[in-house]
Amino acid sequence: MPDDGFVKQSIENGVGTISFYHPKKNSLPGSLLKKLAEAVTGMGEDENVKVVLLQSEGHSPFCAGASFDELLAVKDADGGTAFFMGFARLILAMKNCPKFVVVRAQGKAVGGGVGVICAADYVIATDRAATKLSEMALGFGPFVIGPVVERRIGAGPFAAMTVDTDWRDAQWAERHGMFAQVVSDIEALDEAISALTSRLAKSNPDAMARLKKVFWQDTEHWDDLLAERARMSGELVLSDFASNAIGAFRK
C-alpha cells in the first residue's frame, strides 16, 4: 500500500463505495480529505449510485483523525485554516450529498474521525469502535467537527467528550445516537452493511433525497460556520502549547 495512503471508489448494484487508507492509523492528511470530499460529491451526482458507503481499509482503527505531520508543518494562520477546511469540506460534502451516506466503523475513531462518523446518515460499528475527542489535549478544540458532533449526540455529551478527552466505548456511542447499530465482529459488520445498503439501493431515490433534506434541516448556514471554525483552529494550532502537545502525541 502507498506510504501516503489512498482513496478508492467503486459502484455495484446501486451502492457507491468509497474506501480510504493511510498507514498512520487511517489518519487524514489534506490530500486524502480533498479526495474524499470530491468522491462523496461525485457519488451524489452519479445517477447509478442510490446510496453511498464510506469506509476505511483494515480491521482497526476506523480513523485517527488529523495528520500530526501536517499539523506540525503549519507555519501560519492561513495554512492552519486551509488544513482544517479539509475536514469542513468533507463534512459539507456528506451533508449536501442527496443520497444517504452510510459509514462502516470497524474500529476506533479519534477527533476528525468522530466528525466523519457524525456526518453520516447511518453508522454501523463493531463493539471495538471506541470514540474520543482529543483536541483539547492537543492545545486547540474540536471547532470544525463540533457542530456535526453536537447535532448528532446532543450538547451535553459533546461537551463531556470535549472537556475530559476520554474514550467512550461503542455502547456509549450507540446510546447517544452516534452509532445506529453495534455488532460483535467484522463478519457481522459486513453482513449488516451489505443488508442495509442493498435494501437502500432498491428504495425510492426521491424519497431518500427528500428525507436527507429533512435530516439536515437548519444547517444551511454551515458553509460560513465551518469556515469560521476552521479559522479558530488554524490560529490555535500555531501556539507553543499545541506544537508541544502534538509533538508529544506524535511520538
Cα 177 from Cα 156, distance rounded (Å)? 13
Q: What is the pTM of this model?
A: 0.96
Domain boundary assignment for the chain? 6-189
Residue 135: DSSP 8-state: G
Return the ∠ at Cα 248 (arms to 246 and 251), rounded to 5°: 110
Task: Give the three-class secondary structure for 50.
Answer: coil
Across 60-88, average pLDDT: 93
Averaged pLDDT, 84-112? 98
Cis preceding linkage at 2, omega within 30: no
CA nearest 63: which of 21, 10, 17? Answer: 21
Cis peptide bond N-terminal to 61, omega within 30: yes
Tens digits of residue pLDDT in 154-163? 999 999 999 9
2-52 confidence digits (pLDDT tens): 568 999 999 999 999 999 999 999 999 999 999 999 999 999 999 999 999
List, for residues 165-220, the tens digit of each pLDDT value.
Answer: 999 999 999 999 999 999 999 999 999 999 999 999 999 999 999 999 999 999 99
Superfamily of domain 6-189: 2-enoyl-CoA Hydratase; Chain A, domain 1 (3.90.226.10)
The average confidence (pLDDT) of the chain is 95
Residue tagged 498507514 (cell numbers) = 23
How much of the chain exceeds pLDDT 90, in percent? 88
Q: How confident is the model at residue 77 (pLDDT cuts 50, 70, 90)?
A: very high
